[in-house]
Structure 1
């Protein structure tokens, strides 16, 4: 089975160094014929075995290595060698790492080792059906076709934004208005963005943003289009329509809307026919 992982070279090195504690020296053997037990002194015990909360390297590694297998290992020269993968390679830009997984491995609970969710998975999302019944039904159907079961939790209007910014939900259906592409970038794409609650980062996104910022005219538009394609391909966003806003007035009032602004400014109102 072959899967592609997008990561910067530095991030990909974590795949190699997760087991950098090593296994030679510093211990003592005891037991029958001196070879069935290794006793090691640990300076610091691990505070957690949860993915994402473990220390990156150090004395805790020995605990992790007894529980987890890594995709790659380091040999005595510090070079990556196969472990749970049999082949790996970077693309020409050294930003996309492709791995071929072993097909003879199972997890301790008997689940086959692969890069996906063969039996699907479930997640909980906020219930927007009172406001968007058709959209939520379509989203539920799309998730179901991928083997994803969705449970919807009740939510009130005053809780929506705070719960999204706080990272309460793994995914969201949400309309976000911005006056320009760079305003949208600031709202969603940096690690400081309020609508990037999990602080996701992608070196290719950073490169394309910098390229767009440094360009102008058609060159800038092309860079922003390339950024848009990358975001959709990497599932940062899954757009399904382009919303068009409407503002209703009486017949004797005219209003001029401002692109990217959901509510026209007061200066945009005038008597009809004036």
Structure 2
């Protein structure tokens, strides 16, 4: 019998924090992304972190096709919130497609959220209308790149803006495993039912979301860009909005010090 896989870290009485990875990735991406700033902020004993393998991904790759839509994904995330911390407010952190689902939560159940952090979030419902940037490799260690196989180099450089030993190690350990474990049939089915019924447009047209937020984007992000995300700011009066140079869709390990500082600030503003 199918059950969406998730892993929990931290105290049962801490603030629940739902961690949602991007399309084709797995929960290890979010653990690598969030555990360093959580430790830096000294919040490990204050937060109940819920790292989710979204249906069709990671250890949830056997999910039935009935869950292969953004609406079903969002419902499943809300179910996990109810299962882990019934009746409690939660914070949500979403990267890329996970950020899109987080925006759906902000639009549909704002009363259940204590705050949101959006990392390179997809911020438009119509993918063809995304305003993205030209992908450019701005910083490269050619000597190190020469040690990779042709297949490793091709995969690594596809979206890289900074390419060196440190960014490769995080790409290899945190992002690449998801590519191998995701269910391609499931992902194709999600593509056919991608737009949320109650999504970004509803957030922009609805009441303000007044909880602490952070939006972090890469200046050279060729996947989701940063211009569409600016449209969210009038509805998020407690949001920090940062666009990081020499950073693309993998900004958390291309600009780790800046990223960590922004997330540490957001964690402190949550007040837990």
Calculate the TM-score normalised by the size of structure 2.
0.23
Q: Highest relative contact order (Cα 8 Å, sep 6+), 1 or 2?
A: 2
- Hey, which of these two has a bigger chunk of helix by percent? 2
TM-score under structure 1 normalisation?
0.23
